[in-house]
Amino acid sequence: MSGVVKRAFKYRFYPTDAQAEELTRTFGCVRKVYNLALRARTEAWDERRERIGYDATSAMLTAWKQTDELAFLNEVSSVPLQQSLRHLQAAFSGFFAKRARYPRFKSRKKSHASAEYTRSAFRWRNGVLTLAKMPEPLDVRWSRPLPAEAMPSTVTVSRDSAGRWFVSLLCDDSSVGPLPLLDSAVGIDIGLDHLLVLSTGEKFANPRHERRDRSAQAKAQRSLCRKQKGSANRAKARIRVGRVCARIADRRTDHLHKITTRLVRENQTLVIEDLSVSNMIGNRSLARSISDAGWRQFRQMLEYKAAWYGRTVIVIDRWFPSSKLCSACGALAAEMPLNVRTWTCSCGAVHDRDVNAARNILAAGLAVTACGADVRPQRCTPGGRSATKQEIPQREPRESLVDVGEVNPAPP
């Protein structure tokens, strides 16, 4: 990977009452400007088939501030408002490139409350952070040091559903770079009974973070439903629900960070399957367990860490019959129900279903690196290149919705 890596360092902070009020007002103005610009761009296309870009919406923002109805936009820093227009432009760029769906309006209750400040709207001096429109610096808990001589390029302030305040500083981190080359490669099979099974035979247990707090979450949700809408007690109950959900998400993220960091440090090549998580959670019996496992989050972490440290991630096609294929002789079994966890091939090899799948995934990925293969790979390398996708000569019927490695999933 060339160049210096930009990393976001996230810290918790505790605002004063005046700072919390100012930031809450800023969040509302950011959301208002985003929605106004989205509506203007949508109406321009629907009525006149006219595409409006960032420059036009920026001029609109200047006009909005001069009206009596939207004069309150002048009370907050102008930088987060301009940044919201840039974020909308990025959302439209993703939509036109068919990477995302059409941008949606931000809800006061459901959208993520955040505001982004560029260098002209904050002061960073000797580890003290002060935002525009605020005379006092933020009380940040520096849980880990920033890179040496770091100068943040942007600062993002946010508040989660549990009422916690966070500040994220985007900095250049020269300490991140390619690790020493290794000759090790590993295939990774993702499941539910075990979160990960490696081609080496090692298995990572699935902590099931959501199941541990399911009763507490249900109790908090029932309490929320009993509160009158719009009341102060309902707002407090919503915070209690958010705290339970945040505790689950924090544990899951911490666990996945530890696993992905270890895998990237210990292996030069990592091979995984291209699972369609959004389609699989349509299965009502498995949706909760799949969402709790965090498969999509695992892949995202693995890919960006591999890019940081000079590793290679190969993603093989989701239709590859990894579980039904004998890793010893290559024979393909006709049937492989989910309740079959071990099976014996006609060649006499006895297979653990998940370990066998991981070995086949590794073999398919190594075939890609050697001479190309018929698994239609997506190769993610530090340089950002993608390998050529090759069509499969003959696809085998899919084993099931997904080989989740769970015989009796828990009811939702």
- Summarised one tens digit per residue, pLDDT across range 350-359 is 888 889 889 9
Asked if 73 and 159 sit in the same domain, the reply is yes
Q: Is the dihedral of CA 179, 181, 187, 193 positive or negative?
A: negative
In a domain, 104, yes or no: yes
Can 274 be counted among the known catalytic residues? no
Asked if 33 and 159 sit in the same domain, the reply is yes
In a domain, 407, yes or no: no
The per-residue pLDDT for 2 is 53
In a domain, 210, yes or no: no
The per-residue pLDDT for 70 is 96
CATH number of the domain encompassing residue 285: 3.30.420
Question: Region 278-303: what's the mean pLDDT?
Answer: 90
Question: Region 237-257: what's the mean pLDDT?
Answer: 95
In a domain, 178, yes or no: no
Give the up-direction half-sphere exposure of residue 288: CA atoms within 13 A in the CB hemisphere.
12
Can 193 be counted among the known catalytic residues? no
Catalytic residue among 354, 399, 403, 406: 354
In a domain, 122, yes or no: yes
Asked if 273 and 321 sit in the same domain, the reply is yes
Catalytic residue among 116, 189, 193, 399: 189
Is pLDDT larger for residue 398 or for residue 18?
Answer: 18
Asked if 35 and 162 sit in the same domain, the reply is yes
Residue 386 has pLDDT above 80, yes or no: no
Other beta carbons within 10 angstroms of residue 25's beta carbon come to 15
Report residue 405's pLDDT band, with 50, 70 and 90 as the boundaries.
Answer: very low
Can 173 be counted among the known catalytic residues? no
Percent of the chain with pLDDT over 90: 66
Catalytic residue among 273, 303, 317, 399: 273
Q: Name the residue range of residue 292's domain.
A: 185-204+244-380
d(CA 153, CA 60): 26
In a domain, 219, yes or no: no
How many domains does one find in the chain? 2
d(CA 245, CA 213): 9
Residue 336 has pLDDT above 60, yes or no: yes
In a domain, 220, yes or no: no
Asked if 147 and 14 sit in the same domain, the reply is yes
In a domain, 211, yes or no: no
